[in-house]
Chain A
């Protein structure tokens, strides 16, 4: 294996979209729409070509050596931390790369039709390119920090694109909500990165995997007796839960539907929201060391899957249904990776990218036809009016329901079977696998139900739209239908890439699982009979869901639906209100936070800062101003007088001879020796000293010497006065000191 085989200019893949975005930001407004589209689609298309080239011609050769690698430059090297801006493509990141560039390219084409009349056309494509570049950095990043850069980049683009039509407050708010919720997750993600660095001293995925295989760095107990791997896994999963909209941080995703539909398809269905799943799969070596962390991932994923599916039952907005469906499907993926079926999770990610993108693009197409409205209560009968969209929708619908042969069938089945068959939890937590599997089966039933409800309400029966809207219903332009059809092909046949090995006894038919082996570990072998059993159960559940939906909604709203709603009004209302999670957050987090902010505002801002600091400073300046204004009388004569007084004062002090603060007196019996010189300084020339030892006005010793000696006749207290004269200025200073010869005390 020589180095040249693992080297490839991977940097080109994210660089091209970034380049496109830069060009569009600077020149987009001056270019025609055709040029904008050519640059945007060309950038992502070029990236796709490079990615395909790397994946199909170079990666197979380099797979054994850990994939392709491209070090751009050394990003930071401080102490024992060294991070390169480096990219790596192995089977996992390569697959994601293909999905991103391919679906991204289709959605660029689709957007050309969808956004054709938008005045901010160039801005939209600039964001879209920026997003693709960030997402590719996320996926191709060779280390956690580089991944984090992409992670934040896609978050930013998500924010920008959700609030794309920022003139409406609701859209801007939805963008903020997404961003803030993601920040919470990112916080956990960052802590996970720090912990990883603490445990291993490296942030490169390949080295982390190597050290995790060795084990000791991650199995040592850290907090609360839990091993490091648990904490890393948990914190990283908090980040994943934010980005991939899992409980409890999923609330931003339904609101994110405020963005343009192609954005919902690309970012909030196919790519960005799956970043969390990708990250868990990327860090699988750490996760498998901690069954507890995996259990958290699995249970959260499974519960999210079911929870979001139930909410999906009662939503009346086309995109909202799909949004909750996305949350639910992401839950499936996490349940998959959480039960250590990493390749199954990624498999579902792959198929989901196709059918969910297809569904969203159908939604866009339908809304395009319905004059922008997404209210499914006003739809119906669109089967004949939009035949192409209908056909694509049917394929994607069957795929997500899990009807055999369609892609979702295989991937979902792999997840369920894997959950039941997993052995990663060991003896103590053996309940996790079956529990998760059961929940997933229920969620699959729910999925089939709400998706079929959506299908029947939109496409079957008579139209419930008003005449005006109905008049305008039309099939979308070819630039929109084309990508739809391509996605439908993927949604229909994508599952064949991952036929479970146990089904026909041919493990090598599981192309995807086989390919992902070096990246995420060996696919779990499920016995032939088990496989058949779960396939059967899945099929039955999917058909049951469809039948139930048909019973309730086939050809429009039917009696059983109303009867059910009447029988369980509380439940239906609760589902319609999305279990009031937003309200719960509002009451528990947002309102106290707001109250706290208000209190802080009133106390810290208003009182401490405004009144005490700002007002106090102003008052201080005011007082100083009042004081100094007394001197600024504006009277030139008084200024001059002050000048004269100042000059006199200077002369007065400058011409005094300098004397020490106190005399140095040494008493020996009745003899005292006095030093009037300044300590450590030579006596200035020309000064004369007169020493008056009994303070009677008649100096006993006079002369140029600063010290003198005198013997008293009698003991007791005496006062010594020394007068220093500067003959040059005819000025004097005098010093006085009392001494007590008996005690030697000086004052």
Chain B
């Protein structure tokens, strides 16, 4: 199985995640988009790891999963705080840096 299939899939997944992150209003979905992006990265890592027969890529993927967990925890906490203060999780209503 040539590795470029996996890479193309990884790119596609990343693009889908990016599109969600950029376009969706709902902060929850944006966070999910970020998870998708991270997973796309993981897929590429593992593909190259397999293609080059080097398990360091697995270690990186492991670290990325841990990072994603941390990111999700903090991101969701912020989201909860935002909801508590503003009763919304829409990003276009959370532009406090502006005003």
Inter-chain contacts of B18 with A (CB < 8 A): 644
- Measured CB to CB, the nearest residue on chain B to A641 is B22
Whether B30 is near chain A, meaning CB under 8 Å from some CB there, is: yes
- Measured CB to CB, the nearest residue on chain A to B95 is A634
Given A637-B30, A637-B91, are A632 and B22 also a contact pair (CB < 8 Å)? no
Whether B96 is near chain A, meaning CB under 8 Å from some CB there, is: yes
- Measured CB to CB, the nearest residue on chain B to A638 is B22
Inter-chain contacts of A224 with B (CB < 8 A): none
- Measured CB to CB, the nearest residue on chain A to B96 is A634
Which of A632, A635, A640, A641 is the one whose CB lies under 8 Å from B92?
A635
1/0 contact trace for A528-539 toward B, CB 8 Å? 000000000000
Whether B84 is near chain A, meaning CB under 8 Å from some CB there, is: no
1/0 contact trace for B22-37 toward A, CB 8 Å? 1100000010000000
Do A635 and B22 touch (CB < 8 A)? no
Inter-chain contacts of A641 with B (CB < 8 A): 22
Task: Kindly provide the distance from the CB of A449 to the nearest chain B CB, expressed in whole angstroms.
Answer: 86
Residues of B within 8 A of A (CB-CB), count: 13
Whether B97 is near chain A, meaning CB under 8 Å from some CB there, is: yes
Q: How far is the CA of A636 from the CA of B92 in the complex (A)?
A: 9
Which of B22, B30, B98 is the one whose CB lies under 8 Å from A633?
B98
Do A634 and B30 touch (CB < 8 A)? no
- Measured CB to CB, the nearest residue on chain B to A636 is B91
1/0 contact trace for A599-638 toward B, CB 8 Å? 0000000000000000000000000000000001111110
Inter-chain contacts of A637 with B (CB < 8 A): 21-23, 30, 91
* B3-62 interface with A by 8 A CB criterion: 18, 21-23, 30
Q: How far is the CA of A637 from the CA of B92 in the complex (A)?
A: 9
- Measured CB to CB, the nearest residue on chain A to B34 is A640
Q: How far is the CA of A644 from the CA of B21 in the complex (A)?
A: 11
Do B98 and A640 touch (CB < 8 A)? no
Which of A634, A636, A640, A644 is the one whose CB lies under 8 Å from B99?
A634
Inter-chain contacts of A634 with B (CB < 8 A): 95-99
Q: How far is the CA of A637 from the CA of B99 in the complex (A)?
A: 17
Do A640 and B95 touch (CB < 8 A)? no
- Measured CB to CB, the nearest residue on chain A to B97 is A634
Q: How far is the CA of A635 from the CA of B98 in the complex (A)?
A: 8
Inter-chain contacts of B30 with A (CB < 8 A): 637
Residues of A within 8 A of B (CB-CB), count: 9
Do B97 and A632 touch (CB < 8 A)? yes
Task: Kindly provide the distance from the CB of A642 to the nearest chain B CB, expressed in whole angstroms.
Answer: 10
Inter-chain contacts of B23 with A (CB < 8 A): 637
Task: Kindly provide the distance from the CB of B90 to the nearest chain A CB, expressed in whole angstroms.
Answer: 11
Do A632 and B21 touch (CB < 8 A)? no
Q: How far is the CA of A253 from the CA of B8 in the complex (A)?
A: 97
Task: Kindly provide the distance from the CB of B8 to the nearest chain A CB, expressed in whole angstroms.
Answer: 15
Which of B22, B94, B96 is the one whose CB lies under 8 Å from A640?
B22
Q: How far is the CA of A468 from the CA of B98 in the complex (A)?
A: 77
Task: Kindly provide the distance from the CB of A300 to the nearest chain B CB, expressed in whole angstroms.
Answer: 75
Inter-chain contacts of B91 with A (CB < 8 A): 635-637
Do A635 and B21 touch (CB < 8 A)? no
- Measured CB to CB, the nearest residue on chain B to A633 is B98
Task: Kindly provide the distance from the CB of A484 to the nearest chain B CB, expressed in whole angstroms.
Answer: 81
Q: How far is the CA of A235 from the CA of B16 in the complex (A)?
A: 89
Task: Kindly provide the distance from the CB of B15 to the nearest chain A CB, expressed in whole angstroms.
Answer: 10
Do B97 and A644 touch (CB < 8 A)? no
1/0 contact trace for A141-171 toward B, CB 8 Å? 0000000000000000000000000000000
Q: How far is the CA of A596 from the CA of B22 in the complex (A)?
A: 64
Inter-chain contacts of B94 with A (CB < 8 A): 636
Q: How far is the CA of A634 from the CA of B93 in the complex (A)?
A: 10
1/0 contact trace for A626-667 toward B, CB 8 Å? 000000111111001100100000000000000000000000
Task: Kindly provide the distance from the CB of A741 to the nearest chain B CB, expressed in whole angstroms.
Answer: 49
Task: Kindly provide the distance from the CB of B27 to the nearest chain A CB, expressed in whole angstroms.
Answer: 9
* B55-91 interface with A by 8 A CB criterion: 91
Q: How far is the CA of A450 from the CA of B22 in the complex (A)?
A: 100
- Measured CB to CB, the nearest residue on chain A to B99 is A634
Inter-chain contacts of B96 with A (CB < 8 A): 634
Q: How far is the CA of A632 from the CA of B94 in the complex (A)?
A: 13
Task: Kindly provide the distance from the CB of B59 to the nearest chain A CB, expressed in whole angstroms.
Answer: 26
Q: How far is the CA of A641 from the CA of B22 in the complex (A)?
A: 6
Q: How far is the CA of A436 from the CA of B34 in the complex (A)?
A: 103
Task: Kindly provide the distance from the CB of A646 to the nearest chain B CB, expressed in whole angstroms.
Answer: 14
Do A633 and B95 touch (CB < 8 A)? yes
Inter-chain contacts of B95 with A (CB < 8 A): 633-635
Inter-chain contacts of A633 with B (CB < 8 A): 95, 98
- Measured CB to CB, the nearest residue on chain A to B18 is A644
Task: Kindly provide the distance from the CB of A174 to the nearest chain B CB, expressed in whole angstroms.
Answer: 60
Q: How far is the CA of A635 from the CA of B23 in the complex (A)?
A: 12
Task: Kindly provide the distance from the CB of B12 to the nearest chain A CB, expressed in whole angstroms.
Answer: 16
- Measured CB to CB, the nearest residue on chain A to B30 is A637
Q: How far is the CA of A737 from the CA of B30 in the complex (A)?
A: 50
16 inter-chain pairs at a CB distance below 8 angstroms, sorted by A residue, are: A632-B98, A634-B96, A634-B98, A634-B99, A635-B91, A635-B95, A635-B98, A636-B94, A637-B21, A637-B22, A637-B30, A637-B91, A640-B21, A641-B22, A644-B18, A644-B22
Q: List 8 tightest A-B contacts by C-beta distance, closest first.
A: A634-B98, A634-B95, A634-B97, A635-B95, A641-B22, A637-B22, A637-B91, A633-B98
Q: A633-B95, A636-B91, A644-B18 are in contact. List 20 more A-B contacts (CB 8 A).
A: A632-B97, A632-B98, A633-B98, A634-B95, A634-B96, A634-B97, A634-B98, A634-B99, A635-B91, A635-B92, A635-B98, A636-B94, A637-B21, A637-B22, A637-B23, A637-B30, A637-B91, A640-B21, A641-B22, A644-B22
